[in-house]
Amino acid sequence: MAATEVDKIRNVAVIAHGGAGKTSLVEAMLFDSGSIDRLGNVEDGTTTTDYELEDITRKITTSSSIAFCNWNGHRINLIDTPGFINFLEDTRGCLRAVDGAIVIVSAISGVKAETQKIWKYASEFEIPRVVFINKMDKDTANFSRALGEIEKAFETEALPLQVPIGSGDSFTGIVDLIKMKAVKFNNGKAEESDIPAEILPEVEEYRKNLVEKIAESDDALLEKYLEGGMLSDDEVIKGVREGSLTKRFIPVTCGSAIRNIAVSELLDTALLCLPSPAEMVRISPIRGKNPKDGKEIERKPLKTEPLSAYVFKTIADPYAGRLSIFRVYSGIFRADSNILNATTGAKERIGQVFYLMGKKQVSAQTIGPGEIGVVAKLKETYTGDTLSDESRPIVFEKVKFTDPIISYAIAPKSKGDEDKVSTSLHRILEEDPTLRFQRDEETKEMLLSGMGQVHLEVTLERLKRKFGVEVVMKTPKVPYKETIKVLTKAQGRYKKQSGGRGQYGDCYIEIEPLPRGGGYEFADKIVGGAIPRQYIPAVEKGIIETMHEG
């Protein structure tokens, strides 16, 4: 498969709270574009991007997944991201590698806390966004209420490009406010028609608001509009694109992912409102540092530039080994080549490279600038590393993930499997940078830390499925310690008689508290050689060891 030209690429993350319909929307996009020939669904566990057993069983996305489709001469790389609170750091890591996002807001529940959190992540990376109001086919769907919540939660004007025709069971399609045409759907097939008379006044009001917003952005257009002239469709389209890329307003569309209504129109909107990698550099330039001298370097998304790629996700595969998913920012990533891991300084040998369609790997010889690919079995490359041309190295800033918030003790179900647990968990840790694994020296327990109980449960399920290691999870022990509150004295006496000259030692220590936070202080008050010098370090060592135990 040949590399796509940069201006024809869209790298898009689909983001929202859990249960909003992200996976169903990605599935419908892949189906409408002809990338898949059968429309799967979450309930049956047959979607392209939720292929992990844990995702299928729980019916939630626990790990982001990559797919792609071709639409109107463009390549759209899609990332289906988690929305459940325990897995949002994975979503944040993926937003580092995209140029735009489709934010799903439910027409029933509106904007939830998780959506607001992910919106802030997208703002952190300066990513333009399009909002898709989903579930318009449900009984309590309310388009105008969802629109109001979007403006209130995101503090930016929401500008509808479409309005629904009906809602609930009567939802049959949408009105395109740019073309001023109705698009009705029957058994998944779209037909253009005139706007229904009963909603025409409402549609005209939305259209007027759209045109006014576009006119306000350009003095010439505003003058034309105020003089009674109508803006052409081309002028409206240009204004919508510029307003979206500059984030002056939020473009809003609507539909139903599960019934595949208005999904094709959303693909058109993504091409219109979201930037290509070539346009994204005007919003957020490609900058990194030279690892040799620390000076800032800027790259352009061109094939003629030196290679630079960022590894934003790792998958631990028990058969294929470590899979590194990367975004190429400049140059060409070639199969059967040698490159430099500029983060660690290690040289890596590249074998085959692939595009990803869920769990399916599509072979490629080259991955061009702006594209997303995957390579297997890199020995010293992990999430957050930069791969580059050896002669022109560059290091991109890593995403700083949140520290774990909860810890559980784990133990193998089978005795003697401690080493196997440790080895397998370190493989899992390679794909999830929000996990921590350590052995507590005081309680002698193995501790696994993560973003929540569900996060840890899913990790252990994955550990069992991928590596055949079964463990139990339990509340960790808390080592309670005593401390010194008043001055006290202690005596230690040592006697040993084993024939010949005996051994005898007598030592007194005084212990008193220091001010809180004062730490530890050892004072040697021996005079006249009552205790030989060579024995004093042993006394201090014993005190320190006892102090750690409490």
3-state secondary structure 519-539: CCCCCCCCCCCCCCHHHHHHH
CATH of 488-549, one of 3.30.230.10, 3.90.1170.50, 3.20.20.240, 3.40.190.10: 3.30.230.10
Helix (H), strand (E), coil (C) string for 253-281: EECECCCCECHHHHHHHHHHHCCCHHHHH
- Alpha-carbon gap, residue 23 to 17, rounded angstroms: 12
DSSP-derived secondary structure for 441-497? TTT--EEEEESSHHHHHHHHHHHHHHH---EEEEPPP--------S-EEEEEEEEE-
Q: What are the residue boundaries of the structural domains of the chain, listed by start?
A: 6-283, 286-388, 406-474, 488-549
DSSP state of 87: G
Task: Please give the pLDDT value at position 140.
Answer: 92
**C-alpha gyration radius of the chain:** 30
Residue 78: per-residue pLDDT: 97
Tell me if 74 sits within 8 A of 11, measured CB to CB: no
Sign of CA dihedral 8, 247, 112, 449: positive
Q: Element (H or E) spanning 510, and its range?
A: strand 503-511
pLDDT at 456: 95
Q: Helix (H, G, I), strand (E, B), or coil: what is residue 401?
A: coil
Task: Return the closest-CA partner of residue 99 out of 125, 68, 118, 62.
Answer: 125
For the stretch 369-424, pLDDT in tens is 999 999 999 999 999 999 999 999 999 999 999 999 999 999 998 877 788 888 88
CA distance 284 to 277: 10
**pTM as predicted:** 0.87
Task: Sort 63 into a burial class: Cβ within 10 Å, 0-12 / 13-18 / 19+.
Answer: buried
Architecture of domain 406-474: 2-Layer Sandwich (3.30)
What per-residue string of b and e applies to 417-435 under the rule 16 or more CB within 10 Å gives b? beeebeebbebbbbbbbbb
| Cα–Cα distance measured from residue 528 to residue 519, given in angstroms and rounded to the nearest whole number | 29
Give the CA angle between residues 429, 432, 433 to the nearest 5°: 85
Summary mean pLDDT of the chain: 90
> What's the confidence (pLDDT) of residue 459?
94
Q: From 3.40.50.2300, 3.40.50.300, 3.20.20.70, 3.40.50.1820, which CATH number describes the 6-283 domain?
A: 3.40.50.300
pLDDT attached to residue 88: 95
Q: Which residue has the tokens 């009105």?
A: 175
- In this structure, what token pair is assigned to residue 67? 């797919």
Q: How would CATH label the architecture of 286-388? A: Beta Barrel (2.40)
CA distance 75 to 496: 83
Helical H segments across 103-250, by residue range: 113-124, 143-154, 200-216, 219-226, 233-245
Local confidence pLDDT in tens for the 550 residues of the chain: 556 789 999 999 999 999 999 999 999 999 999 999 999 999 999 999 999 999 999 999 999 999 999 999 999 999 999 999 999 999 999 999 999 999 999 999 999 999 999 999 999 999 999 999 999 999 999 999 999 999 999 989 999 999 999 999 899 999 999 999 999 998 778 899 899 999 999 999 999 889 888 887 776 777 776 766 677 778 888 889 999 999 999 999 999 999 999 999 999 999 999 999 999 999 999 999 999 888 999 999 999 999 999 999 999 887 778 899 999 999 999 999 999 999 999 999 999 999 999 999 999 999 999 999 999 999 999 999 999 999 999 999 999 999 999 999 999 988 777 888 888 898 899 999 999 999 888 888 899 999 999 999 999 999 999 888 899 999 998 887 777 788 888 887 878 776 667 777 777 888 888 888 778 888 888 777 667 778 788 888 888 887 776 6
Contact predicate 256/167, CB 8 Å: no
Q: Rounding to the nearest 10 degrees, give the CA dihedral for residues 322, 327, 329, 332.
A: 60
